[in-house]
């Protein structure tokens, strides 16, 4: 029984899944693909790995699955995932699910459009978005991060209470990547800042391993902005 994960650590859901697998000491093989080079868009990938042309994908002894949150739930049912990380209790699991669904319609939908235009499009495709067109996406991201601080980080050390769950890892990986645009989501958001540090400490060394490229690009962006 071999579990293979196809990923690019420049992708947020790939990082969240990688951290989850490492944190639980699961045995898996890693196939690194480059989104920048379009390695997830080849006809070979479409035919043999996934018709969705997205990462991550897992192949669990022939069962291929996409969508990181769906994969997380599948792993929780079939592998040794800690109960505190994705609880089996109906109500506790519902609280983690509630965040993971909110994540899609908020953190992911409202922060990544800015990230894509500010960082992905210029870097991968040489496409620059003018400042006035970027601005609405920036504002949308700021409001969303304010909502994250206001709605989810008011009680307990983590999103659903005092124990780390998958919700925290998915959130932290999404927010951390914004630093690559030169924006620091921690400034002016003390609860978010403390939360991100807590998730990083609790999941290290895997959090830092997964974010190596993110940190490198964030540092580069900081240096460039000071020139």
Q: Give the nearer residue to its own copies in terms of CB position, either 52 or 215.
A: 52
**C-alpha of 36 from chain center:** 17
By the rule CB under 8 A, 63 interacts with its own copies: yes
**C-alpha of 219 from chain center:** 19
Residue 49 · residue 59 · CB < 8 Å = yes
Cis check for the bond before 198: say yes or no (omega within 30 of 0).
no
Q: Which of 36, 83, 101, 184 binds its own copies (CB under 8 A)?
A: 101
Interactions with its own copies, residue window 171-210 (CB under 8 A): none
Q: Which of 65, 116, 121, 134 binds its own copies (CB under 8 A)?
A: 65
Q: Which of 170, 215, 120, 176 is nearest to 14 (CA)?
A: 170
Q: Give the nearer residue to its own copies in terms of CB position, either 63 or 215.
A: 63
Instruction: Kindly tell me the burial class for residue 205, based on how many C-beta atoms sit within 10 Å of its own C-beta (0-12, 13-18, 19 or more).
Output: exposed
Q: Which of 43, 44, 80, 91 binds its own copies (CB under 8 A)?
A: 91
By the rule CB under 8 A, 73 interacts with its own copies: yes
d(CA 150, CA 110): 16
> What is the smallest separation between the CB atom of 167 and its own copies, expressed in angstroms?
11
Residues in contact with its own copies by CB under 8 A are: 51-52, 63, 65-71, 73-74, 77-78, 90-91, 93-94, 97-98, 100-102, 104-105, 108-109, 151
């Amino acid at each position: 029984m071999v579990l293979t994960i196809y990923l690019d650590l420049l992708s947020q859901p790939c990082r969240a899944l990688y951290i989850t697998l490492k944190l639980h000491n699961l045995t898996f093989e890693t196939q690194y693909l480059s989104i920048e080079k379009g390695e997830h868009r080849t006809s070979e990938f479409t035919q043999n790995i996934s018709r969705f042309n997205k990462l991550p994908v897992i192949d669990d002894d022939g069962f291929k699955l996409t969508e990181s949150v769906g994969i997380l739930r599948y792993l929780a049912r079939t592998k040794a995932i800690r109960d505190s990380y994705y609880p089996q209790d109906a109500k506790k699991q519902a609280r983690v699910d509630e965040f993971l669904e909110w994540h899609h319609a908020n953190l992911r939908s409202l922060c990544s459009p800015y990230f894509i235009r500010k960082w992905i499009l210029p870097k991968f495709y040489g496409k620059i978005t003018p400042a006035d067109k970027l601005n609405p996406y920036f504002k949308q991201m700021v409001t969303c991060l304010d909502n994250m601080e206001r709605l989810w980080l008011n009680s307990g050390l983590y999103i659903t209470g005092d124990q780390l769950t998958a919700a925290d890892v998915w959130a932290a990986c999404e927010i951390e990547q914004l630093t690559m645009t030169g924006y620091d989501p921690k400034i002016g958001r003390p609860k978010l800042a403390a939360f991100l540090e807590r998730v990083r400490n609790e999941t290290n060394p895997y959090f830092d391993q997964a974010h190596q490229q993110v940190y490198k690009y964030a540092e580069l962006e900081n240096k460039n902005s000071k020139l």
